[in-house]
Structure 1
Amino acid sequence: MKRRDFLTWLGVGVGTLAIANDFLLSPQAAKAMGLTGSLDHLLAQADTPDDPFTLPPLPYDYNALEPHIDVRTMQIHHDRHHAGYVRNLNKAIATYPDLAGMSAEDMLRDLTQVPEPIRTTVRNNAGGHVNHSMFWEIMSPNGGGTPTGAIAAMIAATFGNFENLQTAFNQAGASRFGSGWAWLVLDKQGNLKVTSTANQDSPLLEGLFPIMGNDVWEHAYYLNYQNRRGDYLKAWWNLVNWEEVNNRFLNAMV
């Protein structure tokens, strides 16, 4: 459904939309329309569905990660920030049809394939899209606890124990000046490393595979934690989906 048709069907005028955009649809209204989520998310879904890149849905409800990440942060983070990276990436490559068949990951692995006029835009927005697509998947309402599977053994072999990984990872996030990410990555030699990147840079740019990452941009935590980034970093471990992290590790080792 195109955005224009969607708005006509919904019966929303421009003035009403500006007000309604800041609120979640009520469960009753959403159920009656056969829809779920915020108006931001519905509009993101309605935008140009034939574009090469689309906003992936959250694998859980907006409020599923509370109290560690609040519902409003999830709504804004996914439906506005991530959706913005997707829109900007599609816009950037629209006049370069040779890029339409490439994955965002392949663009990031070798930016020399991307025409120079849009290279920085692709770096920022493909990075934002890839980083966030991973981020939603490696969190779960049933997450937390200690690592399981092959990744648990690798963490123990590399860092000595899980607590040492947490300390190094939290330090990487806390010491990242300004906006960026903390990462657990696999290098080309098959070693685990903790690192961080600025802005929306992906470890793929450096030939590293992201096993797990935490977003330390202020929009990821500020509504709930304000300037207490360290508290957010500590609380985030309660959400880690170790099954998915282990799957990423196994896939990277193939």
Structure 2
Amino acid sequence: MTLEGHTLSPDESFGVFNRSSSTFVLPSLPFEVTALAPITGAETLGVHLGKHHQAYVDGANRLMEPMVKKFETAVDVISFARSVEAHGLLEQAGQALNHAFFWTCHQAAGLTRPEGSLEIAINDKFGDFTGFTDAAIALGKSRVGSGWIWLVADHEGAVRLELTRDAETLLDDPSLAVLLVCDVWEHAYYLDRASDRAGWIDGFFGQLADWSMAKSRYEHRLCREPDAT
């Protein structure tokens, strides 16, 4: 069986936003609920999507309900919330969008290491893939509390890791190409490995991360004009 919801799409809302109704929706996953075990078990996946992600979708919609303003994408909601300092909406919408992107960063079977131009960029920055995963683990362990580890590239193609707190997102930053994200909130891994955040980060980047998609995103960035958004 698969987890039901709305089909993921390649737009900037990653399937989490319905333009016609100007509301957030829960995406479906493009793989079986058991496909990510043993790194992510079926129970963890079900709770993560059906409870936590659903709660962020519902929370954002509840805060948007009294608004007359209509939005085209999830990023539009986040940009608006930033501009008016609507912190509650920013948090709920940010978490809804971050999670939608996070689901697209998984693959049930496929390339488990970067290749091509992305591999070269990672090796230039971190030495090799082990250096990259060591840096990601160290960054994740440095965060006391919840957050996200992002692999991003700038307009020149240089890659780096970023760490954001709580519901903060990088998906509305036009200066970056966001390639992958790893959720380091405890609900992403606690049922499977208790407090072993390092093991979760290593397992995600080494076995679950969709490096084919990350490579495509990286190469797409290199083909864009420097001032493109």
Calculate the TM-score normalised by the size of structure 2: 0.80
Determine if the alignment matches structure 1 residue 170 to structure 2 residue 141.
no
**SS of equivalent to 2:150:** strand
Residue pair 1:143, 1:240 contacting (<8 A) in 2 also:
no
Residue aligning to 1:105:
75
Question: Partner of 1:57 in structure 2?
Answer: 28
Report the equivalent of 1:184. Answer: 151
Q: What residue identity is the alignment partner of 2:112?
A: G
Per the TM alignment, residue 109 of structure 1 is displaced from its structure 2 partner at its CA by: 4.9
Q: Which residue of 2 aligns with 1:66?
A: 37
- Summarize deviations over 1:44-92 as a string: whole Å, max 9, x none: xxxx994522111011111110011000000000111111111111221
* Alpha-carbon spacing, 1:252–1:105, altered in 2? closer, same or farther (3 Å): farther
- Is the Cα contact below 8 Å between 2:155 and 2:221 reproduced in 1? no
CA drift at 1:252:
3.4
CA 1:138–1:215: 2 relative to 1, 3 Å = same
Whole-Å separation in 1 of the counterparts to 2:44 and 2:132: 26
- Of 134-143 and 48-57, the range deviating more from structure 2: 48-57
Corresponding position: 1:127 with 2:94: yes
Q: 1:20 aligns to what?
A: none
Structure 2: 5+ residue stretches without partners: 7-17, 225-229
- Residues 212, 37 of structure 1: alpha-carbon distance in 2 compared, 3 angstrom cutoff: closer
Give the distance between the partners of 2:185 and 2:164, measured in 1 at CA.
Answer: 11
2:152 and 2:180 in contact (8 A); partners too: yes
Match in the other structure for 1:137: 104
1:96 is aligned to 2:67: yes
Residue aligning to 1:245: 214
Does the aligned pair in 1 maintain the 2:153–2:179 contact within 8 Å? Answer: yes
Closer, same or farther: CA 87–174 of 1 in aligned 2, 3 Å: same
Q: Give the one of 229, 244, 248 matched to 2:197.
A: 229
CA distance in 2, matches of 1:68, 1:245: 20
**Which amino acid is the alignment partner of residue 169 of structure 2?**
S
Inter-partner Cα distance in structure 1 for 2:106 and 2:140: 17
2:188 corresponds in structure 1 to 220
Q: How does the TM-score come out when normalised to structure 1?
A: 0.73
Q: Secondary structure at the match of 1:97?
A: coil
- 8 Å Cα contact 2:94/2:168 also seen in 1: yes
Contact 2:121 2:157 in 1 (8 A): no
Deviations 1:115-155 (A, max 9, x none): 34xx1122212211221111111111114532123322221
Counterparts of 1:120 and 1:55, CA distance in 2:
21
Structure 1 unmatched ranges of 5 or more: 1-26, 28-35, 43-47
CA positional deviation for 1:190: 4.2
- Aligned residue for 1:181, secondary structure, equals strand
Higher relative contact order (CA 8 A, sep 6+): 2
Identity of aligned residues (%): 29
1:92-115 deviation line (CA, Å, top 9, x unaligned): 1222232x22322234356444x3
1:146 aligns with 2:146: no
